[in-house]
Amino acid sequence: MQSDALQTLLKNGSYINGEWKSAQQKFDVTNPATGELVAQVADASEDDAHAAIEAADSAFKSWSKTTAAERAALLRKWFNLMTDHAETLGHLLTLEQGKPLAEAIGEVKYGAGYIEWFAEEAKRVYGDTIPGPAADKRVVVIKQPVGVVTAITPWNFPNAMITRKAAAALAAGCTFVVRPATETPLSALAMAELAHQAGIPAGVFNVVTGTQSSALGKVLTQHPRVAKFTFTGSTGVGKILLKQCADGVKKVSMELGGNAPFIVFEDADLDAAVEGLMLSKYRNAGQTCVCTNRIYVHDSVHDQFVEKFVAKVRELKIGNGLDEGVNIGPLIHQKAVQDVKQLVDDSVAQGAQIVYGGTPQEDSTFFAPTVVTGVTQQMPLAAEEIFGPVSAILRFSDESDVIAQANDSEYGLAAYFYSRDIGRVWRVSEQLEFGMVGINEGAISNPAAPFGGVKQSGSGREGSKYGLEDYLEIKYLCMGGI
């Protein structure tokens, strides 16, 4: 915590118009593994949020006129600085969020990957020419940046959820204001410092750190100069923010909750399925929107699969993310532990059985990896988003039944299934009502792929060539008198 590199990137106030802002009120950022104070950060007011949007609005006038190559070069510098500082950024991320250091460094590289991706995509914003309706008319389509973009990002990925939005926005020629989660502002501020070092002009990338979620959220969704709002977080909060955006008819992208099914068919390679499940369930201690939530295992392979899976889960080491060999860190706070415990307790009361793991201590932020069998579709562990390291296993015997069960959710973010039957692979992929499907694969996120969901999991796509479109307006030019 004391290293010079860390101190250089440890900032303690909002970054607005290229300057660090202090405030009389401060809030504590604590390490979820130890409860220790990591930093005290200036608590931004609504005025600060207004100032950030106005700075972004004024910077938009020149940033939107830079060439794609100029923006790409600056983004590339930012990417290089992020990768050069990946270990320090990872350390900071573990301190404020808790995930194991290797995973935190992995997130920083994953996050930086979006900056690299969009630096390259900036040069590929193509328009169209369309055959005109008359001999003297021409139809041309150009694409232009939408304007000032505001964002609210979550604590589970304090780095990558910002870069995935900001890099696309900046590449498109938009300017950006983000309010990171109160629990994890330090990664965002460290990224602002590196954006500054990269030479990204004042006002183009702004960070507003504060505890007044509702007041700051209103400014970010309702300020007249905001053209687009983008959010990653729960469906409940997303709905409130969407309503706030409605009055100003803001463009929106929403990456909301999930309840991912993971289906193991009778023809699956069980070892591969266990490996994929470990990745998709225990990443970030299960605190990921795309984490597996409901594991459907075919009757004929159920017992064998559970045995293999529990053997792997036993190998997981829980502890402080900075300690060697730890693969499961704490949950973000004690309330998260109690919420997950409630889901387990309520499901056990309805007949589910804990086959591995168990009950956390009352005042702990740690929840041991846990496996529960005998879960059914209506039990809380299947019906609700767990957001913790609990594997809920259900049985099935028929392909169409399991597809119907998998789709029986208001969410539609990610789904996974394992099968070696090519016909089934197509049938199931096409019928699953989810934005992303992992087929014989548990790790689906990467900058080249379109990340996003259907149903109440949100709208819009992030990453990939589609991710840039969300930050561009289409303008049609009709040229007559030719």
Residues with catalytic roles: 255, 289
The site string for ligand SIN over 101-140 (x = CB under 6 A, - otherwise) reads ----------------------------------------
Find the binder of ligand SIN among 115, 172, 289, 313 (CB under 6 A): 289
Q: Which is nearer to ligand SIN, 392 or 413 (CB)?
A: 413
Of 126-134, 154-162, 373-381, 470-478, which part binds ligand SIN (CB under 6 A)? 154-162
- Give which of 23, 12, 29 is closest to 51, Cα–Cα: 23
In the complex, what is the shortest distance from the CB of residue 257 to ligand SIN, in angstroms, rounded to a whole number? 9
Of 19-27, 48-56, 66-74, 156-164, which part binds ligand SIN (CB under 6 A)? 156-164
Q: Which is nearer to ligand SIN, 289 or 322 (CB)?
A: 289
- CB contact at 8 A, 417 and 428: yes
Q: Distance (Å, rounded) from C-alpha 156 to C-alpha 97?
A: 7
Residue number of the CB closest to ligand SIN reads: 445
- CB contact at 8 A, 451 and 114: no
Q: Which is nearer to ligand SIN, 445 or 464 (CB)?
A: 445
The answer to whether 156 contacts ligand SIN (rule: CB under 6 A) is yes
In the complex, what is the shortest distance from the CB of residue 255 to ligand SIN, in angstroms, rounded to a whole number? 6
Q: Distance (Å, rounded) from C-alpha 154 to C-alpha 251?
A: 20
Of 28-36, 117-125, 152-160, 293-301, which part binds ligand SIN (CB under 6 A)? 152-160
DSSP letter (8 states) at residue 460: S
Q: Distance (Å, rounded) from C-alpha 378 to C-alpha 352?
A: 11
Of 186-194, 208-216, 283-291, 322-330, which part binds ligand SIN (CB under 6 A)? 283-291
Residues 37-76 touching ligand SIN, rule: CB under 6 A, are none
In the complex, what is the shortest distance from the CB of residue 161 to ligand SIN, in angstroms, rounded to a whole number? 6
Residues 223-252 touching ligand SIN, rule: CB under 6 A, are 232
In the complex, what is the shortest distance from the CB of residue 445 to ligand SIN, in angstroms, rounded to a whole number? 3
- Give which of 124, 123, 93 is closest to 109, Cα–Cα: 93
In the complex, what is the shortest distance from the CB of residue 475 to ligand SIN, in angstroms, rounded to a whole number? 31
Q: How many residues bind ligand SIN (CB under 6 A)?
A: 10
Of 153-161, 319-327, 337-345, 471-479, which part binds ligand SIN (CB under 6 A)? 153-161
- Give which of 140, 136, 85 is closest to 108, Cα–Cα: 85
Q: Which is nearer to ligand SIN, 97 or 156 (CB)?
A: 156
Q: Which is nearer to ligand SIN, 187 or 373 (CB)?
A: 187
> Which secondary-structure segment (H or E) carries 392?
strand 390-396
What DSSP line would sit under 198-257, residue for residue?
A: HTPPTTTEEE---S-HHHHHHHHHH-TTEEEEEEES-HHHHHHHHHHHHHTT-EEEEE--
The answer to whether 184 contacts ligand SIN (rule: CB under 6 A) is no
In the complex, what is the shortest distance from the CB of residue 444 to ligand SIN, in angstroms, rounded to a whole number? 7
- Token duo for residue 385: 């988003």
- CB contact at 8 A, 255 and 460: yes
Looking at residue 428, its amino acid is V
Q: Distance (Å, rounded) from C-alpha 341 to C-alpha 359?
A: 7
Q: Which is nearer to ligand SIN, 180 or 203 (CB)?
A: 180
Q: Which is nearer to ligand SIN, 113 or 145 (CB)?
A: 113
- CB contact at 8 A, 55 and 202: yes
The answer to whether 445 contacts ligand SIN (rule: CB under 6 A) is yes
What DSSP line would sit under 333-387, residue for residue?
A: SHHHHHHHHHHHHHHHHTT-EEEE--PPPTT-S----EEEES--TTSHHHHS---
Backbone dihedral angles phi then psi of residue 280, each to the nearest 5 degrees: -80, -20
Other beta carbons within 10 Å of 481: 5
Q: Which is nearer to ligand SIN, 110 or 309 (CB)?
A: 110
- CB contact at 8 A, 281 and 393: no
Find the binder of ligand SIN among 157, 296, 417, 434 (CB under 6 A): 157
Note the residues at the interface with ligand SIN (CB under 6 A): 156-157, 160, 232, 255, 288-290, 445, 451
